[in-house]
């Protein structure tokens, strides 16, 4: 039993993130183990801090050591595998131990410091404690007087069929007050039960066997040996849109469960792939747990506990679901693997791919990446035999890929059509409406008219805290900053710089909806964007209505582009994509190619052939033309050449060191100082491949009143480089710079 422990504490800065030794009181020794959550006295004044036990020692405590304040129960302890992931994240992503701990345990299962009943001793308290709810059963008969109310009668009738929870009763319209009243009368008896954890329970079960097409079967059989041999293996399922990748997943999962093992399925964003949960739930029922950020803390916790208790065979969720405490994993699937949402943008800055590889290695699992447009890095790895490549080249049902046309919007304007919807698209929508078919339109900008620009000085109205334009939202009649949430209400009419008249121009989803309503007054139009889907479940409900053909046209942001499978959709229009073509970052082309291919792929998935129109002011753009042809292989050839020439992943790793602070000059100085320190350290290892670019101002120079600078380092993502970076961070932290900027390090592997 441990007498002393090494603890990593919360809120440590990089340099101070190490293990601190504490003594364990005899009555705590039973409870403490590796991975225990603890509360410790720390620093001057011995203030209580959260911590995690990362080392245990049988040595008798020295008299100088402080004692632990409190230890969380064993159920809150990190499993050995999660504990190894904490070390993995710390080593890979330059986070602190505690940041890693917070990433692998959901908020609800975490602990916080509180004050004990004596009002003095700090103790641990669970973030969430409500996992039980009331359950009612009949305990007596309803007296005839006073005359029972309708609700009382209904409650008694329902409970005649057996015990029910408060949630179930409330769903039937029986309020807590009615139940309390009946308990007081002795008619009902109330007890506490564990809260129900079966989310999505209304999805009906479907058990008919999966019949794969010949091509799907071949893909399945190519992967099967690697599932069955229980050795770590990586594969890429590259299948055109509508080829039935999901069916191959389902079949693999089914086999995985037969083998007595478990499966983890990642999707990029729950709103982009609502149908995955549906398909898994309808086939595998209650043994499917869900982990995604649209769940509230309680739901998320309950699902997590179900996984921890061994009650789930399948976990489906977004990025952080990769940390599910699922044991004996035989299969990990990353669907739409090219999506940027698989990279975390706050500490720890991991990619789900690298964590998945680690877990597949530990569990001897098959890691399956899947996409119609794989990331350049993943396809490169597959081409070079580092991972297995499996293809699906045909759409299910044999439909050809949609026919795609590109419309030049400059010519459109020149020929006298001032609208944002070209004549060709208008005509196609009309024909589609007449044929009783559905249309999906993509416009990657929410709001009404995008920006406000001065007619005189041409200045664009920007957010006062960020260096980005404000966006007009018609329904709320105000300007919004999409970065910090700042508002201008009411919207100004005059330019703040010169007093000239502001002109509101551009085209967002709200404006599109309006224009469509004018052109097609008879059509039922659905707008899908962050604003229209803000309410809980709004997203699923709207999509379900669209699926029932209660709408003819769906216009929206990227949430209409991916993963959706509606048989009546035979026309897709891309209204505006040009801004993305000129976006920063080496993945910009890949993103556009993938987005256009995905959205075009929504068209003509069932019996009838599909058609698509892409509107652009740059009709000769090679990326758009390749996307229109849905020629991934040609796109890949072009992209990989560009990556090689510019030295980008997969030809090197990319480490971006970001600096932010309220005074621009100080941020610039901090970045320069960091660059100098890095240079000094690197000079000691001249054989280490390294190229440092910058410092330069960030792509967006200011966000929420913080100025941003960055340093781009092209490197090889290996232990030597990471050690070098860590040393530099340590040195930088010890520098006494005035008003020092905060630093974040984001390392993109060469492999993903």
The annotation status of 655 as a binding-site residue, yes or no, is no
Contact by Cβ (8 Å): 35, 82? yes
Scanning residues 592 to 621, which ones bind ligand ADP (CB under 6 A)?
Answer: 605
Alpha helix (H) ranges present in 621-751? Answer: 622-629, 632-646, 664-683, 719-734
**Taking a C-beta distance cutoff of 8 angstroms, is the pair 506, 452 a contact?**
no
Q: Is 459 in the site for ligand ADP (CB under 6 A)?
A: no
> Which of 35, 122, 244, 491 is in the footprint of ligand ADP by CB under 6 A?
244
Residue placing its CB nearer to ligand ADP in the complex, 244 or 469: 244
632: its two tokens? 């991934």
> In this structure, how many other beta carbons lie within 10 angstroms of the beta carbon of residue 419?
14
CB of 693 to Zn ion, least distance (A): 27
Number of residues in contact with ligand ADP, rule: CB under 6 A?
15
Alpha carbon distances (Å) from 744 to 93, 234, 710: 10, 30, 9
125/486 with CB nearer Zn ion: 486
Tell me how far, at minimum, the Cβ of 323 lies from ligand ADP, in Å. 25
465 binds, among ligand ADP, Zn ion, none (CB under 5 to 8 A by kind): Zn ion
User: In residues, how long is the chain?
Assistant: 752
Reduce the DSSP state of residue 723 to 3 states and report it.
helix
Is there a binding annotation on residue 256?
Answer: no
* 183 appears as a binding residue in the annotation: no
Nearer to Zn ion, 149 or 704 (CB): 704
Omega of the bond leading into 490 within 30 degrees of 0 (cis): yes
Instruction: Give the whole-angstrom CA distance, residue 279 versus residue 285.
Output: 10
CB-nearer residue toward ligand ADP: 395 or 702: 395
Across 606-639, b (16+ Cβ under 10 Å) vs e yields beeebbbbbbbebbebebbbbbbebbbeebbebb
In angstroms, give the least distance from the CB of 238 to ligand ADP.
10
End-to-end Cα distance, the chain: 42
Instruction: Convert residues 220-239 into a mask of x (bound to ligand ADP by CB under 6 A) and - (unbound).
Output: -------------------x
Cis peptide before 650 (omega within 30 of 0): yes
Helix, strand, coil shares of the chain, percent, nearest 5, are 35, 25, 40
Q: Which does 216 bind (CB under 5 to 8 A by kind): ligand ADP, Zn ion, none?
A: ligand ADP
Instruction: Supply the minimum distance, in Å, between the C-beta of residue 503 and ligand ADP.
Output: 42
For 731, the token pair is: 């040195």
Report the residue number, 242 or 348, with the smaller CB distance to ligand ADP: 242
- Binding to ligand ADP (CB under 6 A): which residues in 365-404? 396
Q: DSSP class of residue 142?
A: -
Cβ 241 to ligand ADP, closest distance in Å?
5
Q: Is 95 annotated as a binding residue?
A: no
Question: Which one of ligand ADP, Zn ion, none interacts with residue 469, CB within 5 to 8 A by kind?
Answer: none
Nearest-angstrom CA–CA distance, 35 and 83: 6
- Cis upstream peptide for 440 (omega within 30°): no
Q: Which is nearer to ligand ADP, 241 or 728 (CB)?
A: 241
| Residue 312 contacts ligand ADP per CB under 6 A | no
CB 352 to ligand ADP: min, Å:
19
Check binding of 438 to ligand ADP (CB under 6 A): no
Residues that bind Zn ion (CB under 5 A): 463, 465-466, 481, 483-484, 486
Identified binder of ligand ADP from the candidate list 24, 188, 212, 612, rule CB under 6 A: 212
- Residue among 239 and 695 whose Cβ is closer to ligand ADP: 239
Q: How far is CA 375 from CA 271, 276, 714, in A?
A: 21, 21, 19
Per partner kind, with CB cut-offs from 5 to 8 A, the member of Zn ion, ligand ADP, none near residue 486 is Zn ion
Run of H or E including 117: none
- Choosing from 28, 110, 135, 213, the residue that interacts with ligand ADP (CB under 6 A) is 213
Using CB distances below 5 to 8 A depending on partner kind, what does residue 484 bind out of Zn ion, ligand ADP, none?
Answer: Zn ion
Shortest approach of ligand ADP to residue 247 CB, angstroms? 4
Residue for token pair 């309808």: 282
The neighbour count for residue 326, using CB atoms within 10 Å, is 26
Strands (E), 465-605: 471-473, 478-480, 487-488, 502-505, 525-528, 553-556, 569-576
Find the residue with minimal CB distance to ligand ADP: 244
Binding partner of residue 241 among ligand ADP, Zn ion, none, CB cut-off 5 to 8 Å per kind: ligand ADP
Report the nearest approach of ligand ADP to the CB of residue 387 (Å).
19
Selection from Zn ion, ligand ADP, none that 480 binds (CB < 5 to 8 A by kind) is none
Nearer to ligand ADP, 241 or 557 (CB): 241
The entry of ligand ADP, Zn ion, none that residue 463 binds, CB within 5 to 8 Å by partner kind: Zn ion
Taking the least distance from each CB to ligand ADP, the nearer of 45 and 398 is 398
The binder of 514, among ligand ADP, Zn ion, none, by C-beta within 5 to 8 A per type, is none
Peptide bond into 27 cis (omega under 30): no
481 is in an annotated binding site: yes
Q: Report how far apart, in Å, the C-alpha atoms of 116 and of each of 42, 129, 302 are.
A: 18, 16, 26
Q: How far is the CB of 351 from ligand ADP (least distance, A)?
A: 22
- Bridge partners, residue 556, by sequence: 442, 528
**Tokens coding 434:** 């007449």
In this structure, what token pair is assigned to residue 435? 């044929």
User: For ligand ADP, which is the closer residue by CB, 401 or 652?
Assistant: 401
Partner that binds at residue 245, options ligand ADP, Zn ion, none, CB closer than 5 to 8 Å by kind: ligand ADP
Contact criterion met (CB below 8 Å) for 446 and 634: no
Give the nearer residue to ligand ADP in terms of CB position, either 374 or 469: 374
> What's the closest the beta carbon of residue 602 comes to ligand ADP, in angstroms?
9
**Helices 274-284 + 245-258 axis angle, to 10:** 40
Q: Does the annotation list 498 as a binding residue?
A: yes
Separation of alpha carbons 233 and 255, rounded Å? 16
Q: Where are the beta strands (DSSP E) in 489-536?
A: 502-505, 525-528
- Residue 466's binding partner out of Zn ion, ligand ADP, none, with CB under 5 to 8 Å set by partner kind: Zn ion
Query: What Å distances lie between residue 436 and 44, 518, 568, 570, CA to CA?
Result: 73, 19, 8, 10
Toward ligand ADP, which CB reaches closer, 559 or 671? Answer: 559
Within positions 538 to 567, which residues make up the interface with ligand ADP, using CB under 6 A?
Answer: 565
Question: Which of Zn ion, ligand ADP, none binds 243 (CB below 5-8 Å, type-dependent)?
Answer: ligand ADP
Q: Quick one: 391 or 524, whose CB is closer to ligand ADP? A: 391
Residues 549-561, buried b or exposed e (16+ Cβ, 10 A)?
A: eebbbbbbbbbbb
Say which entry of ligand ADP, Zn ion, none residue 548 contacts (CB below 5 to 8 A, set by partner kind).
Answer: none
Helix H or strand E segment including 21: strand 20-23
Residues annotated within a binding site for Zn(2+): 454, 457, 463, 466, 481, 484, 495, 498
Residues annotated within a binding site: 454, 457, 463, 466, 481, 484, 495, 498
Residues forming the site for ligand ADP (CB under 6 A): 211-213, 216, 239, 241-247, 396, 565, 605
């Amino acid at each position: 039993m441990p007498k002393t422990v090494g603890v990593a504490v919360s809120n440590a800065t990089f340099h101070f993130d190490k293990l601190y030794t504490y003594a364990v009181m005899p009555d705590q020794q039973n409870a403490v183990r590796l991975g225990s959550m603890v509360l410790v006295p720390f620093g001057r004044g011995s203030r209580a801090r959260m911590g995690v036990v990362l080392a245990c020692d049988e040595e008798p405590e020295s008299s100088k050591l402080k004692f632990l304040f409190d230890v969380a129960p064993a159920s809150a302890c990190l499993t050995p595998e999660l504990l190894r992931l904490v070390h993995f994240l710390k080593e890979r992503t330059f986070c602190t131990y505690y940041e890693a701990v917070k990433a692998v345990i959901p908020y609800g299962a975490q602990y916080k410091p509180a004050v004990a009943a004596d009002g003095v001793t700090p103790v641990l308290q669970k973030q969430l404690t409500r996992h039980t709810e009331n359950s009612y059963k009949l305990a007596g008969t309803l007296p005839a007087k006073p005359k029972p109310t309708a609700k009382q009668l209904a409650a008694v009738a329902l409970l005649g069929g057996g015990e029910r929870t408060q949630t179930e009763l409330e769903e039937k319209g029986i309020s807590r007050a009615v139940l309390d009243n009946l308990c007081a009368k002795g008619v009902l008896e109330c007890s506490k039960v564990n809260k129900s954890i079966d989310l999505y329970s209304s999805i009906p079960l479907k058990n008919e066997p999966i019949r794969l097409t010949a091509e799907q079967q071949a893909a399945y059989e190519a992967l099967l040996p690697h599932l069955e041999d229980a050795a770590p293996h990586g594969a890429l399922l590259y299948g055109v849109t509508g080829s039935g990748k999901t069916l191959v997943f389902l079949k693999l999962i089914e086999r995985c469960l037969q083998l007595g093992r478990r499966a983890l399925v990642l999707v990029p964003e729950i709103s982009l792939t609502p149908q995955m949960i549906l398909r898994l739930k309808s086939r595998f029922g209650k043994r499917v747990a869900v982990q995604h950020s649209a769940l509230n803390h309680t739901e998320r916790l309950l699902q997590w506990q179900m996984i921890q208790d061994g009650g789930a065979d399948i976990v489906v969720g977004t990025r952080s679901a990769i940390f599910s405490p699922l044991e004996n994993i035989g299969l990990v699937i990353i669907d739409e693997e090219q999506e940027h949402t698989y990279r975390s943008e706050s500490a720890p800055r991991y990619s789900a791919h690298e964590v998945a590889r680690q877990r597949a290695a530990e569990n001897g699992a098959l890691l399956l990446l899947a996409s119609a447009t794989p990331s350049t890095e993943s396809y490169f790895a597959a081409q070079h035999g580092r991972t297995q490549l499996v293809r699906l080249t045909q759409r299910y049902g044999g439909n050809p890929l949609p026919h795609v046309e590109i419309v030049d919007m400059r010519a459109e304007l020149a020929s006298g059509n001032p609208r944002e919807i070209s004549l060709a698209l208008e005509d196609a929508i009309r024909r589609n409406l007449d044929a009783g078919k559905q249309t999906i339109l993509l416009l990657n900008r929410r709001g009404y008219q995008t920006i406000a620009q001065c007619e005189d000085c041409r200045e664009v109205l920007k957010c006062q805290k960020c260096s980005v334009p404000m966006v007009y939202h018609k329904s709320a009649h105000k300007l919004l900053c999409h970065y910090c949430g700042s508002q201008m209400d009411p919207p100004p009419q005059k330019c703040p710089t010169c007093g000239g008249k502001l002109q509101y121009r551009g085209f967002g989803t709200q404006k599109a909806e309006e224009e469509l309503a004018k052109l097609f007054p008879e059509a039922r139009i659905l707008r899908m964007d962050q604003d229209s889907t803000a309410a809980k479940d709004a997203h699923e409900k709207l999509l379900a209505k669209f699926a029932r053909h209660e709408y003819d046209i769906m216009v929206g942001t990227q949430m209409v582009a991916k993963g959706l499978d509606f048989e009546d959709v035979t026309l897709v229009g891309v209204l505006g994509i040009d801004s993305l073509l000129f976006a920063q970052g080496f993945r910009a082309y890949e993103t556009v190619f993938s987005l256009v291919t995905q959205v075009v792929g929504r068209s003509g998935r069932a019996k009838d052939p599909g058609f698509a129109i892409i509107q652009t002011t740059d009709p000769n753009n090679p990326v758009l033309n390749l996307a229109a042809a849905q020629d991934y292989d040609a796109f890949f050839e072009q992209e990989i050449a560009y990556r090689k020439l510019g030295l980008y992943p997969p030809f090197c790793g990319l480490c971006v060191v970001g600096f932010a602070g309220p005074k621009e000059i100080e941020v610039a100085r901090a970045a320069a100082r960091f660059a100098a320190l890095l240079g000094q350290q690197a000079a000691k290892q001249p054989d280490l491949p390294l190229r440092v670019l910058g410092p330069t101002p960030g792509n967006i120079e200011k966000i929420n009143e913080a100025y941003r600078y960055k340093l781009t380092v092209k490197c090889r993502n290996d232990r030597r480089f990471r050690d070098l970076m860590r040393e530099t961070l340590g040195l930088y932290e010890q520098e006494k710079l005035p008003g020092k900027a905060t630093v974040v390090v984001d390392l993109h592997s060469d492999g993903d």
